[in-house]
Structures are given as C-alpha cells and as structure tokens.
Amino acid sequence: MLRKAVITGATKGIGRAIAESLATEGYDLAVCSRNEADLVAMQIDFAERFGDIKLLTQVVDVSKKEEITKFAQVIDNQWSRVDVLINNAGVFMPGSVHTEGDGLLEMMIETNLYSAYHLTRALLPLMMSQKKGHIFNMCSVASITAYDKGGSYSISKYALLGFSKNLRQELKPYGIKVTSVMPGATWSDSWTGFDAPEERLMQARDVAEVVVSALRMSASAVIEEVVLRPQLGDL
C-alpha cells in the first residue's frame, strides 16, 4: 500500500516543494489551497510527472474550522491511513503590536495556528490507530526570535511551536513523531519583487529535503526541531 501524506498550502512555495519531493518518494497526497485554479494546474502537472501516485485536492480556507473539518472528512472517507501530516499553510503580514491594524492578530492566529490545531485533531484518530506516523508543523525562525515588524506573525508562530512541543509529548506513546521546522527567509510568492541575488534566500527545495530526510530516519529517532537559515543570515 502506498504511503499517504496530507499537506496544507501545497500549491506554491515550501508546500509545493514538499509535495513534489513526497510524490517522488511514492506518496499519495491530499492537498489543499484557497485557489481552485492552482489546484487544477497542480493536478495536471502531477498527472504528467507522477502518474503512479494519487493526488486528492480540495479548495480550503484553512482559517475556517468548518472547511478544515470537511477536508479531514474527505480524507477519512477515501483513505484508511495517514502516514504524514504537514501543517504548512500560513500567512505573513508585517506589523508592530502597537500599530498594526485591528483584527490582524485574530487572522494570523486562525490561519497559522488554529488550522494546524483543528486538522491535526481531526486526523489523529487515524494516525493513533496505526501506532505510527509523522507530523510536521511549519513554524519559522520567528517562532524563536523576535524582530522588528514581526508583530502578530511572530506571536502566531511562537504559539505554533508551543503547540508542536505539546503534541510531541502527548504522542510519544503512540509512535507518532512530531517535528517543528523553522525556516528563515525562503524564496516564495511572499518575496516577489525582492531585489537580491538568488543565493541570498533559501530555496523551497532546501526545506523539502529536510522533511524527506526526517522521514527516512528509523522509528527510534526523531528530529524534534530544526532551524534553517540563509547562509548569509537573517534579513
């Protein structure tokens, strides 16, 4: 039976790079995005490049619990197992706590934290019944380092790291690994228009390689936390 992986925010950037890497490794995938056109394009691309794997797609606004719940139900109806869950979807808007717009914190918490919380809780029964699996929470260097204009984004990512740490402790008896991935600046749509040499930021595939490497480890070992930064340092 082919292994099964769920990835949120999988049509672009880090999520897309992880999806491609796991497809190469032979995983069937369930992915979501807010943009239906992006999902259709991904279906076409993956059918051409990875014909042997199955790609399940669904339009989901991960900031809405009801949409996350429906996504989990679709997965539960079609799959009998989930081997890997990658909570990758997130949003970044710069701001300072004392000046950022009202509602920004709520929006970031709903997207960056609650999405991971609700989807994980919905899929855990499948993973716990297997007594194995691996959950990756895409945190950030903003989860461990305060910086100017971090504001609500940093708050949400600190909270995601806390969620990940608690989950790690709770799931030890069930054989489920939990890894917190904390990338620094990585080329994606968020950096469109940023004028810098390509090597100044990391590539999305660099983060994907870390995920694949963690999955290849024996059942007796887990990477609990990993920090990745551009070689020249944070921006």
C-alpha span between 31 and 224 (Å, rounded)? 24
Q: How far is CA 16 from the centre of its chain?
A: 10
Q: Is 158 a catalytic residue?
A: no
Q: Residue 6: helix, strand or coil by DSSP?
A: strand
- E runs forming strands in the chain: 4-8, 28-33, 55-59, 84-87, 133-138, 176-183, 225-228
Q: How many residues does the chain have?
A: 235
Select which of 27, 114, 153, 158 is catalytic.
153
Q: Which residues contact 187 (CB under 8 A, 6 or more apart)?
A: 13, 198, 201, 202, 203, 204
C-alpha span between 108 and 29 (Å, rounded)? 26
Q: Residue 88: helix, strand or coil by DSSP?
A: coil
* DSSP-assigned states of every residue in 160-210: HHHHHHHHHHHHGGGTEEEEEEEE-SB-SGGGTT--S-GGGSB-HHHHHHH
- The catalytic site residues sit at 153
